[in-house]
Chains A and B, each alone.
Chain A
């Protein structure tokens, strides 16, 4: 089983739609979680961290479910510019603080 798993998609949605991605992780001791965004032929960039209580940044909401070992990203009122690959990132070993593991990514295409 992979340490971090995501549905690769693609998710094709119309502008204005709400879309949600899930990501599961295997190490129950993981402590840090993030969502990164990667545009085609570009480097990944931090979208948002994921906090235990859940957090929101504009149209983006991230949630953590420790019991089921998954994190989610909700995008409301999607824009054409949201088209990208969204990468789930987990610190897989809390005693090894630098070891961030990336999921395969979920591709989102927002259509006019």
Chain B
């Protein structure tokens, strides 16, 4: 069964700290991996999309890496701010799944002022 796991489930850090969120997946045959942010009770906002041929993507203070062979991705957030507080979701499009997304359970991030 193709699964996506995110660790930790929750994380609390002081403002200004650099942090890393982890995502692992069970099958290295993927189309792409996408990181989303979800605020409480709201929809998903796409942060970064990494194609299977890419190793990383960057947007502002965010950097996402992809290591297909080990089935891992990390989302690095630099100089965290209270406004970064949200749930971060990792989603993988596995090959053979008609490019449908399989989601992890998310990491709930709290950045303390």
A and B assemble together: no
Binding site for B on A (CB under 8 A): none
